[in-house]
Structure 1
Amino acid sequence: MTPSEKRFALIAAGVLVVASVTGYVGTRVALRYGPTLDTYGNEVGGSFRLMDATTGTMTDQTFRGRWMMVLFGATHCADDACTPALTNMSAALDKTDPGKRKAVIIFVSLDPDRDDAERLRLYGQSISPRVVAGTAAPGPLADLAKEYHTTVEKLPDPEWTYAMRMSPRFVVMDPNARYVGTVDANLSADAMTDALKKLMNPAQ
């Protein structure tokens, strides 16, 4: 490699490092001091801004045009309730959206101290490609939980020291980000399928 090629390579590497650091810092600042949530006039649910499983940011606008099934919990979930709930919802969506293009599961971790981007990526990947996991700083998370009518609740756990309680229901938002109802997170996959058919196809 010639001296000029080495110099170019070093400059290029420096630019990449600066861009990565700037993006990371920008993401952290945006999550901590993000915009005020907007309910869009919904009784339940509305806008959100989260750090997703690829260390970027995602908002409700990212999923406009798709149905969103929103569940709050954590990878350290009380009573190990989150994994079966997400698995059953994924199975239900496979029946109501076999093309896998119309609906997505938004899993909001209430445990940002332990659920970093890589952990969330692996957790979602272990369940279904439909599961998109994200989190935020504690303050914005509390506001978001309130917007979606759930709570941030930490429970003692003998194995993990503490675990986060899963929200009792999936909040279902239509492709225009309008609230249409909820699905009990403890239902079986078949029962979730029946509930989704009524919410997503009310005329049928």
Structure 2
Amino acid sequence: MKKLAIFDVDYTITKKETLMELYIYSIKENKKNIKYLPRALFSGFMYLGKIYDEKRVKESFLKFLENFDEEEFKKLMKRFYKNRLSKIIYEDSLTMMKKLKSEGYDIYLISASPEFYLNELYAIKEVDKIIGTRFGFSKGKFVRSMDGENCKGEEKVKRLMEVLKKENTKVDFKESYMFSDSLSDKPLFDLVGHPYLINYKKKHDIEVLNWK
């Protein structure tokens, strides 16, 4: 049976929230994207007011990428990874991936962030599988309609199990690891024998690791 080392992404292996970093990066490439800032702020307020759920917030926020040509879109994601995303990864997270990979673990990244840029993290040679929130293209253009549910909480476990079933993979969860900055990942924490909170500020029964 396989043993997994599962990592959340935002604030777990990265120092910042990655979707916002993508938006900021897009402004650096195209100053006109600043016009979408009021929409982003409005969506955030609607979420805090519990009027929008996370799915609606993300679909609204991604207006700055709507109708982007698929080939140019892919090139943008590669530039984002090279020029920004790769530079905000905690060195301690990479060290842990290398350690567990050398001990025979498969490295899985499971995040609520969009797969369309998370997939660039396959550039980290230790990473075996990436599971995130899915979006797609229609007639060669990006559409900001979410494909399925937001990959958070119980949905992360559901998506993981779908992948394992599809690939006919058996996992020893008692010997597996889970790393996250947030208790929203409790469903995954409860699944494994070795859960760890990353840079968590409060006392908790789950052991806290401080990564830089």
Both structures adopt the same fold (TM-score exceeding 0.5):
no
TM-score (norm 1): 0.32
> Greater helix percent: which structure?
2
Structure ID, larger Rg: 1
